[in-house]
Amino acid sequence: MNEEITRRRTFAIISHPDAGKTTLTEKLLLFGGQIQVAGAVKSNKIKKTATSDWMEIEKQRGISVTTSVMEFDYRGYKVNILDTPGHQDFAEDTFRTLTAVDSCIIVVDGAKGVEAQTRKLMAVCRMRKTPVIIFINKMDREGKDPFDLLDELEEELQIKVRPLSWPINQGLKFKGVYNIYEQNLNLFTPDKQKVTETVEVDVNSPALAECVGEEDAGKLRDDLELIDGVYDPFRLEDYLEARIAPVFFGSALNNFGVQELLNCFVQIAPSPRPVMAEEREVKPEEPKFTGFIFKITANIDPNHRSCIAFCKVCSGRFQRNAPYLHVRQGKTLRFSSPTQFMAQRKSTIDEAWPGDIIGLPDNGTFKIGDTLTEGEMMHFRGLPSFSPEMFKYIENADPMKTKQLQKGIEQLMDEGVAQLFVNQFNNRRIIGTVGQLQFEVIQYRLENEYGAKCRWEPLSLYKACWIESDDEAELENFKKRKYQYMAKDREGRDVFLADSGYVLQMAQQDFKHIRFHFSSEF
């Protein structure tokens, strides 16, 4: 069992939109032998979009809307990748994914440097002490000076960095990358399908000049000397305790610098770590199975209206058809067809080990955050849903399709795409999301996956907050006074819909004994 645990590497790829996450994922799959030809994400000549973007809407927009899971074997390691959406409207999906991984790769655009969304995601990694490796992408385009980029990373992401590879020029003059970790030189030939050649060369030998020219050879020697002078030597413990971030340079689109990243990653990245449950710490090598659901996806296969719950195995060995306890419902369940993923393609498996992510068929039995065990009552935490910032009434645009609309809304809400509130005053349904794009995704998926049409009606609200109080009388009084602004969420909890910041502030002042919560975990 310990062998299986030690060879697992489960990580997420995170970044600002358009830094090249999905392209990097494709290239990692290429090295893992999972795909034979990398589909250039935006190329129309190859009629094939990125493997990890499989929903219709993702192909049309060229962006990732949902986290996809892919696994492959590489040099004796079992690698599980989660490709996350970078777009901030889907940030919640990404935050949840970070609870299921042991380490992260952050992709930074060499020309734009650190962007807003990257800062937010790094804050979540820092909070959870998740080790990160940084990949600086698009070196084949003109961009910032590498030393300036390193300073910016340290300042913006508040973490020490240590380059483990170094670029020789950039843009049109880009000649390749010197791999500091393995001490060899990789020469660049722009090619989206092939892998570049590696040259074993001593930095101080004249052979270096033959490969890259006299001037660049001199500059590389100076740069490497400066790196050793300025940055602390790379220590594995510092990386594993999230005190330092190794940095790699390359161009994912041209397949360059990606293999160096992967080789180093499988050697140094952490294998599955202990997970904190409410009751105790769960170690991966414990004999009994435990796991939690961190994501639910409806309609992976449009021919069968099925949902799949993604379960992260935390300890023990998961076996097909074995009885497991669903802690929240207190029921025992058996799974006859657990699956493993390659984005949309999936295959049935007989067992899984800590660090693996398995798909369980779901007919409405699971919610995000549910725990599965071999009989122990325990709960895994850390899957918040945040207070939404945009609201609209959802109305049925086709009375003949009421049932389909109902089912569609229910399944999409189970996914955690958005949140549903029912207004107590007029019983109208309100959808709350983090970003505008979510409304378009919901409308599109209702029509294409469920055959139901909806229309949105404007609603101006400032924030939704969950309320609770030990003082029953005061709570009743509050609900009476704010009758028009009270709603229930899907769990039947009280939600106050404040229509402005001022109203919310006054409510907090007037009702001292009521607690206002801005995330659903309390």
2-268: which CATH topology? Answer: Rossmann fold (3.40.50)
Among residues 358, 327, 324, which one has the least CA distance to residue 341? 358
Question: Which residue in the block uniquely carries the two structure tokens 């602390």?
Answer: 232
Structure tokens belonging to residue 307: 């949902």
Which residue in the block uniquely carries the two structure tokens 């994914």?
A: 97
The answer to whether domain 2-268 and domain 275-373 are alike in fold is: yes
Enter the tokens of residue 471: 């003082």
| 3-state secondary structure at position 254 | coil
> How many residues does the structure list for the chain?
522
- Residue 288, CA distances (Å) to 8, 29, 350, 354, 369 in order: 18, 32, 16, 11, 19
| Signed CA dihedral, 283, 284, 287, 290: sign only | positive
Taking Cα atoms as reference points, which of 488, 494, 420, 501 lies closest to residue 461? Answer: 501
Rounded distance between C-alpha atoms, residue 267 and residue 270, angstroms: 9
**pLDDT of amino acid 302:** 53
Report pLDDT for 54.
42
What CATH number is given for 390-517 in this structure? 3.30.70.3280
The secondary structure of residue 350, as a DSSP letter, is: S
Instruction: Characterize the bridge pairing of strands 77-83 and 68-74.
Output: antiparallel
At 367-389, the pLDDT tens digits run 878 889 888 888 876 555 667 77
Taking the whole predicted model, whether its pTM rises above 0.75 is answered as: no
- Residue from 69, 47, 70 nearest 59 by CA: 47
Among 2.40.50.100, 3.40.50.800, 3.40.50.300, 3.90.1150.10, name the CATH number for the domain at 275-373.
3.40.50.300
| pLDDT of the chain, 522 residues: tens digit per residue | 788 888 888 888 887 777 777 788 778 877 776 554 444 333 333 334 454 554 554 545 444 444 567 777 888 888 888 766 644 545 566 677 777 888 899 989 888 888 877 887 787 788 778 899 999 988 878 888 888 899 998 888 888 898 888 888 777 777 778 777 777 777 766 555 555 556 666 666 677 777 777 787 888 888 888 888 888 888 888 888 888 899 998 888 877 788 888 888 888 888 888 888 888 888 888 889 999 888 777 655 555 556 778 888 898 888 888 899 888 888 898 888 888 765 445 677 788 888 888 888 877 788 878 889 888 888 876 555 667 778 999 999 888 999 999 988 887 887 666 889 999 888 999 998 877 777 888 888 888 878 899 999 988 888 888 888 888 899 999 998 888 899 998 888 889 998 888 998 899 888 888 888 877 654
Residues 477-511: pLDDT tens digits? 999 888 889 999 888 888 999 888 899 889 988 88
Residue type, 60: Q
Domain boundaries defined on the chain: 2-268, 275-373, 390-517
> What residue type is assigned to position 449 of the chain?
E
pLDDT of residue 86: 46
Q: Which residues contact 516 (CB under 8 A, 6 or more apart)?
A: 465, 466, 467, 496, 504, 507, 508
Strands, DSSP E only, in 330-387?
Answer: 331-334, 339-342, 345-348, 351-352, 357-362, 371-373
